Each structure stands twice: as structure tokens, then as C-alpha cells.
Chain A
Amino acid sequence: MIRITCPHCGPRDHAEFSYAGDATKARPADPATATAADWHDYVYLRDNPAGPHLEFWHHLHGCRQYVKVLRDVVTHDVLASGHPADDLEAGR
């Protein structure tokens, strides 16, 4: 029952959102030259840190924008949120 601050709509109940995956992973920038190892890493490999973690949440029942969230997965504290391209860890 956490609340996530959507950069467009403000603080909202997480029931309005849908989890949309690990935000520490970037799709290979040039898919034409990416190697099998690059794809393997992007598609399958995920860290499971106990602590702050970057995630995407889709404001599905709201503005339908993807939101980047820095969330402590141990305490459930939402530490920061912003647009998908934002660097939430800067200055932390």
C-alpha cells in the first residue's frame, strides 16, 4: 500500500500503478550491433539488492505515463520518483 509520486499527477496509491520492471537495465543502444551476450544480460539478468532499487512503474489507471522510482525494497520507502530519463540517484 505504498504511495508513489507520479511526476504528472502527484502522490497516488500504488493500486493505480502497474510494476514495469527493473530500471537499472538499458536496452542495447544499437540493436543492430548488440551481441548475444548483450541481449542475454538485458533480457535475463537482474540483481536482487536488499535496499534502494530503481524501478519503472506504469501509471496505468492514471495518466498512463511510465514513472521511474527509487524504492527501498526492504522498507518499501519510495525515496525518489521522476520521468523515465531522470537520474534519481544523482546527489543521493
Chain B
Amino acid sequence: MIVGRIKDVNPYRLPTGGQIDRRRALAFTFDGKRYTGYDGDTLASALLANGVTLVGRSFKYHRPRGIFSAGPEEPNALVELRRGARVEPNTRATRAELFHGLEATSQNRWPSLSLDVMELNDLASRFLVAGFYYKTFMGFPGWHFYEQRIRAAAGMGRGTTEPDPDSYERMSAHCDVLVVGGGPSGLAAALTAGRSGARVILVEETDGLGGRLRSERETIDGAPALSWVDQARAELAGLQEVQVLTRTTAFGYYDDNLIGAVERVADHMPVPPPHVPRQRLWHIRAGRVVLATGAIERHIAFPHNDRPGVMLAGAVRSYINRFAIRPGRRAVVVANNDDGYRTALDLNAAGVEVIQVVDTRPVGTSDWRARCEAAGIEIRDNAAVTKVHGRLNVLGCDIAGLDDVSGARFEPCDLLAVSGGWSPAVHLHTHALGKIDWDDGLAAFVPGAARQAHVSVGAARGAYSLAACLSDGFAAGSAAAEAAGFASGARPDTPITDAPGERPIRAFWAVGDGKKRFVDLQDDVTADDITLAHREGFVSVEHLKRYTTLGMGTDQGKTSNIIGHALMAEARGEPIPQVGTTRFRPPYTPVAMGAFAGGDRGRHHTPVRRSAMHDWHAVNGAVFVEAGHWLRPQYYLGAEEPNVKRFMDAAITREVVNTREAVGLVDVSTLGKIDIQGPDAAEFLNRLYANGFKTLAIGKARYGLMLREDGIVYDDGTTSRLGENHYLMTTTTAHAGDVMALIEWYLQVVWPDLDVQACSVTEQWAAMALAGPKARDVLAAAVDDGTDISDAALPFMGVTTARIAGVPVRVFRISFSGELSYEVNAPADWGTRVWEALVRAGTEHGIRPYGTEAMAIMRIEKGHVTHAELDGRVTLDDAGMGRMASTKKWFVGSGMLDKPAYTDPQRPKLVGLVPVDGETRIPAGAILVEDPKASVPMDKLGHVSSSAYLSPTVGHPIALGFVSGGPARKGQTVWAVFPLRNLEIEVRITDPVFVDPQGARLRG
């Protein structure tokens, strides 16, 4: 934080003018040094006001770089903003609004900005040409060895590893007309569209409206253009259906007129105020879109055109007119269009000595030129800058006639303003798959046919004059409103503007054949690199891009792509449209990941599902585990037991032993439950399940297996018949939603003739399984009115209804643990009441709740499969359940069961596995092989699917797995290898059922 008195000294600030608030001085630091700026400054303008011209180092050669532009296209002035968890690297200083206390740091330099050791790369640059890394480092010991070191040397800023302390949010909006850009064209469009009553949203990237008008000395109807902007702003504010979003960048144009935009709500403040997000992501679904995105200026590739002090001409005018900065003392202007003259006039007016306007065109006349001549500014035609002198800043330049480059004359100067013409910002137009056409007269790509409901206006379509922008905007705004069904009334007359006659641009991309003629400043791509790429056969623009990295920086080549493609066209001897251009892709400018994430972070990333008995579990020592979205008790610790491994193992063992020897209670509410009703319900289930369901009697449950259409096992669970046409299906926890969607698929699309209704009731019922030899005693004590639950009244796989603690419940005698077991379903709101009643009734029998760990161990002991086994590769035969498939009917997947691959005897099949040494744990995921010492690659026999590290019932570790040949190999030994942990375990193949293979316990 910066404290103390603010020094109010800006050596390069003009005494008057600009759109800064001189009453509000702001202190900030750059590389630890204190400076002062004003409210309304960007970091870039404040640095220039203080005479700071060196702000960064280039990506590859570490060349000193300054501020090149005044907008989103900035390739050079990338800095780190803020500190600690809020540090933001690679931020364009030209887009960072100044605030009091801003801390900015230069990047990609060591030990300091003016002395960067890696600048040696620049001296070695004759070796560091395009493709250098690929050619040099692909050999021994391989690219990955070098990659880390190369990335450390070439680089950008560093992000933080701390969590982001700020919040973000997302907003969806619908409108009839979306206007992108708050310059003259966009304002004009928003005005006519807004007056019609249509819902209009105007998004503007910067902090205020006006666009280029903020940077030029334009007039509208005889008054300064900015007063027209003020009137427009006031009128828009008064229109109820118009919303103006400043500091908002439309970064992408997607299908069906969806525009993504990011609003920088609090980036211009030190920290966001309480309850205010840092940024807000907008999804705007628009009826029509008016693209008033303006144009981006290009430079010219001449030797050392990257030195601090070389600046785009339009940016020079921005710094003079908008920020009241004198960007130099002695300036040379070089241009291939009349903007050179306009810039010279503004420099002249700001008191900067203009040495010369160098016009690359042959001699010609225009109003702009006449004004320059009248101001006494020297003009040189048919000439160019052939070299820039100076290293950390411009000291001068060589100017030579284009017909005789050898006759160069040195001119001392500290500012070089460059204009290579303007490129309409067609980015959003091309995101929306609009075509672009080459316009020879403008030497630029302009928007062609649109594919979606959008239109480009003003500078965004190459109509650069203010009058054209305004009339374009008025027309597009009312046309868009009318297309949306609103009457827009009479179109306003185009106001009178100062419109000096211009001479057309003449394409001029690069000077001569010198070294260090930079095309892409951010990626250090020179004109020579383009020539080299051409020589080596990378002549397509897509290859050129990837070979040289042209346009692959965070600026996406906004200032450079066209120059590179034009030079390639020259090298190929073909016109530019034939060579083409690469496609722009979203985002237009970088967007923070936090904005995309919005509120979906940390615990809010996915919803948490809790069972009806969750609070009981929490109070009674449960340690929870995530199972999909669910939180389930993993095991229960005693009041004095810390949650460390030793106590965890003891707790799990305790739960298994107690259930096998007395009685346990487990929460199984997460299982999917689907209520199925209708006259054809039995027929439907019979088609869906591989085993028969037509014979299932009322009051009975049956285990069912469901296949995919390709014959692979999909899901399993018990389905009970509750009434004549009423069934309750259960699914695995993981597939609860998918099975429901599948049932809807078959009922709606495949068999719409079946009269069946299905509804998910997973959350309506709390479910708990009472398991163990004492289960019947506990249940008998718990049910009201002495309901008969004897083996005769409720046999294995029987279903009945009863009341527990007054709550109507369903009781299913089914077992996952292998013990005598009853699954009790209670209405969710009464789940805890029933659970507590069972615990109370079980106290004298030693009842204990058990968690997912004990449940998993017991099901592995019983050889019951779960999705660890049914992993989408396993057939019924593989899982040892081939005999369950009905031969009397067809069912989903039955047509595929004879596939040769499914009947291959070598297929891995379900087996049990035990360690030969009787004690080593067998990790799930281990690969089964014949001989771990054999040379790799070795044949795989199968894998371990589930593992019980401790089986209290069996007394040693056990596992389930799949092995080629399957049960036929019982008794043989193979090896379980786990290379990640360097494990080799000799295992014996056994039956997958380790406990009670006859099922005596569960039928007890």
C-alpha cells in the first residue's frame, strides 16, 4: 500500500486538456518506484506521463520494449498487476485503469528491466530463427528434456498458486438488439434502436463511451464531438429498455446469436467492495447484433521498429488528446495513409517538434496534407524509415527515399509514430462464421456475408469517416429494431462533421531487407522469419502461423497478422486474398478463468446430496466420503477416537465383525429407486432385464441385470413387485440418473406402445439395511403391532409393508452383505425416526451402524459385483452370471451375446484372489501377469478390480479380479503387478465367494 503525500509532478503531461481529472491525483508504483497519475489514466498513460518508456522485455529475444498502442491490441506493454493472491500477469498496461495504490511490475527480465541478462538471446538471434527450437532440440535426449528450460527462458509473467480471494458471477441476458462498441457508430445504433422501444444492450470495452472520439479532435455539428457523446449517453440513460455496460468486452460470438462478454466490475479498484464480484460473465442472447467494434491500426516492418518510442500513430493521438500527454519532444511520423498528416497536426498542436512526415506513397495531394503544409510541417514523399537508432529508447532514425535506400539521412528524434493503415476488427464477425473479403482500396479485410443475425457498421466495416460511422450506426440501429418488430420512426439526419478530403492508402508492409524488421512484436517474429518459412515450404498461412508462431501470442496478432500474411503473399507472388488469413477465435482478449467459473468453485462446484439420516451420522461419529454427489458415512469413530489410519482400520474391522456376528445398520438411501407402474410394466421389465421378470409374484423381489444394446452389462439391482401393475426398481448409486434416462428412452422412443409410467423416487425414500444374525430379532422388536416377520411370513426375497415408530415402511428381505438382512424404506422425512427406532430396538442385540468401507469388504467377501467389476467391458459370462440370462425371451442386448469376441474362451472372467504369502495387500488396479520378470511388453492376463485390504471374516487380504481363463484356473498362481508403486505380489486364484458360498446365512 502506498501512504504519504502524493507528488503532483508529471513531466510529460500537457498543461491543459485531456479526459483526466486533475483534481484527483493517484499514486502508484512500477517496479517498486513511486509515480503519480490522475483519475482517468491507464497504467500506460500514467507511465508515459512520468517519462517511463521502457516497460517490458520481449518474449524470445528479451529486447527492450515500450508502450506501442493505447488499446486492446497492445503486444509489448504486458505487466504484472497487484501482488500476492491477486497478482495478475500479462496484463496490457494500455487497458489497466489506474487506481490509487496500484502496484505494477515488469516481467520476463532478470535482474532488472534495463539490464536483462537474457538479452544475450538478441545477440544470438541469427540462430534463434523460426523453427530453431524444433530443429535443435528434437534429438538426444529429447524435446521434453529441453522444454522446461526453454520455457523458463522464454516466458511471460508468473501467476499465483494461492486461491483467488475474489468472487465472480455469471449473468444471462436476452435483448432484441445488442450493440458491441460504444464509439460513434455504436452510439448511433443504440440511439435509433433504443428510441424504438426495443430491448437494447450496448457493451463498451473501456470505462466510458465515445470510442475513437475520445482520442481525436473531431467536431459534430460544430461542437466538440464529446459533447455529442454526452448527449447520447444522457439520452440512452433515459431510455427504459436500454442497458449500457461499460468496462465490458464482448469476447466471443457463438451459435444462435449468443455473445459472451466479461464485465470488469471492480478491476479499476484496489479490491472489490464487499459483496461485489471482481468480474461478471455475461451470456447475452440477442435478436440482432450490431458490430461497431472499430478498427485496429497496423505498423510497418522496418529495422528495429520495436524500440521503446516507436508507437502506433493512432495511439500517439490518444495519448495527446485523451490523456494530455506529450509522448516525445522530437517526432518523426511515417505512414502509408493520411493519418500520418493528422498525427503530425496533433503533435504540432501539443507542442511536439515534428521533424518530418515520411509518406511511403508517391507525391500526391489531399486536404490533410494541405493542412500540414499550412502548419509548416516538413513532408517527405516516396520515402521510409530504414532504421531506428537507440536501444532502451529511440535516439533517432534513418530516412531514405524508396528509390534510393542507400541515401539514408539520420534524424535525431525520441518518438516515431507509425501508421500502416487500419484493419477493421472483424473478430466477432468471423467468430460467427461470417466471411471476410479483401478490399484493395482499403488494403484490409472487411466483413463479407454474415452467417448469423449481425451487421458490421462504421470502422468495423472499413467506413472510417465520422460521418460514415454515424449514418451507418443510425441505419443499422433502426433496421435491427425493425427486424425485431419495433417501429423506429424517422431516421435522424447525419450530423455535420469536419471531413477533410483524404487520399487513399497505398499498401506498404515492410522496408527493404534489413534484419530485425519486426512483424509480430509479442512473439518476436520478423520479416526474415516469414521469408524463411516460405523458403522452407511453410507457405500456407496456417503453416506459417504454427512454424513462426505469428499471431499466437495473447494479442492474437491484432497488429501483425495482416503484415505477416501480406509478406507471405509477396514471397509467393500471389495476391493477398489468394493467400488468405487465419481465422480469429474467441476470446477477443484474454478472459480470467475465474470469470468462466463464476460461482462454481470449491464446494459450490457441484451440489452436495445428503441422505435423510445425515445429521444422525454426523452426530454419531461418521467420517463422510464423497460418492458421486452424495456424502456417505465411510466408517464411524468412537467419541475419543482420532481420525487416523490405525483407528480407521479398527473401526472398519469392528463394523464388519459386529455385522457378521451380531447386527449392523447401514444407510443405503443413495441407491436409485424408480417407481414403475402400468398394465405393461411386467412386459417392460422383462424386455429391460436379461433375466425373466414375468413370473415375479406380488410381494417378491428379484435381482435383475440390465445389459446395454451391445450386450455388455450395464447395471444391476433388485426390483420388487408391490402390486398387480406396480414395481419398484433399484439401481446402483452411480447409474441412478442414467437408468432413469434409459427407461425414458425405451418408453418414449423405442416402445411408445407400452402402457407404462416411470418416476424417480430416489429422494422420496430413505433406505437402510439391517443386516446380521440378529437382524430379525431387531426388526421384530421394532415393528408396531407385532407384525409377523418370521421366515415363513417374510422369506428370503420377500417384500412386505409394516409400521415402525408409527411410520409406514416397506421391508425387503434382500442382502448385499451376505447376512440375514432386511432393507427398510421409509418416507424420507421420517427416515431418521425409523433409523433411530431400529437403533433403539437393536441396542440389546449390540447393533452398530456401519459405513461404506465395511459394506464394501462384506460384498467382496461374498463376491458381489459393483461398478468396479461392471466397468463397461464385462459380459454376463465374464461376471460369472451367464446362467442368469433368460433363454426363453429376447431382452436388451440379447442379440449381441453370440458375438465371437464375447465367446472367446480367453476372455478374462471374474475370480477371487488371495496373496500367496497370506498377508500382502493386493491393490485394486494391479495388472495380472504370468511372470513379472518377463521382458516388456508382456501379455496381460487380467486385472484386480476390487480389494479388501483386511477381511476380518477370512483373516487375510482378499481381492476380486478378472483373469484370462477365469474359474478354470482356480488354484493356480499368477502375479499382481503395480508398477507405479513397484509392487509384485504372487496371488492365488480362488472362487470369488469367500464367505458362505451356499448362502445359508442370508436364508437363515
Contact = CB atoms under 8 A, between A and B. Distances in A.
Interface string A79-92: 00000110000000
B763 interface: no
Give me the 4 closest cross-chain CB pairs, A-B, nearest first.
Answer: A39-B895, A1-B254, A1-B258, A31-B890
12 contacts: A1-B254, A2-B256, A36-B899, A42-B709, A43-B710, A60-B741, A64-B741, A65-B748, A66-B745, A66-B749, A76-B255, A84-B749
B745 A20 contact: yes
Contact of B744 (A1, A3, A64): A64
Interface string A41-62: 0111000000000001010100
Contacts of B710: 43-44
B750 A27 contact: yes
A24 to B, nearest CB: 13
Interface residues of B, number: 23
Given A38-B895, A39-B896, A32 B890 contact: yes
Contact of A85 (B433, B741, B752): B752
A28 B5 CA distance: 84
A32 B889 CA distance: 8
Contacts of B451: 75
A28 to B, nearest CB: 7
Interface in A2-49: 2-3, 13, 18, 20, 27-28, 31-32, 34, 36, 38-39, 42-44
B279 interface: no
A65 B747 CA distance: 10
Contacts of A42: 709
A49 to B, nearest CB: 19
Contacts of A44: 710
Nearest to A4: B256
Contacts of A32: 890
B748 A43 contact: no
Nearest to A15: B283
Interface string B885-900: 0000010001110110
Contacts of A85: 752
A38 B896 CA distance: 10
B745 A58 contact: yes
A11 to B, nearest CB: 9
A3 B258 CA distance: 10
Given A32-B890, A76-B255, A56 B895 contact: no
Given A56-B749, A75-B451, A84-B749, 18 more contacts: A1-B254, A1-B255, A1-B256, A1-B283, A3-B256, A13-B285, A27-B750, A31-B890, A31-B895, A36-B899, A39-B895, A39-B896, A42-B709, A43-B709, A65-B744, A65-B748, A66-B749, A84-B748
B749 to A, nearest CB: 4
Contacts of A66: 744-745, 748-749
Contacts of A28: 895
Contacts of B749: 56, 66, 84
B187 to A, nearest CB: 28
Most-contacted residue by chain B among A28, A31, A32, A44 (CB, 10 A)? A31
Nearest to A65: B748
Nearest to A78: B256
Contacts of B898: 36
Contacts of A76: 255-256
Contacts of B285: 3, 13
Contacts of B895: 28, 31, 34, 36, 38-39
A89 B744 CA distance: 24
A58 B258 contact: no
Nearest to A21: B745
A85 B756 CA distance: 18
Interface string B740-773: 0100110011101000000000000000000000
Contacts of A39: 709, 895-896
A43 B897 CA distance: 13
Interface in B860-914: 890, 894-896, 898-899
A1 B432 CA distance: 12
Contacts of A36: 895, 898-899
B896 A43 contact: yes
Nearest to B451: A75
Given A20-B745, A43-B710, A75 B433 contact: yes
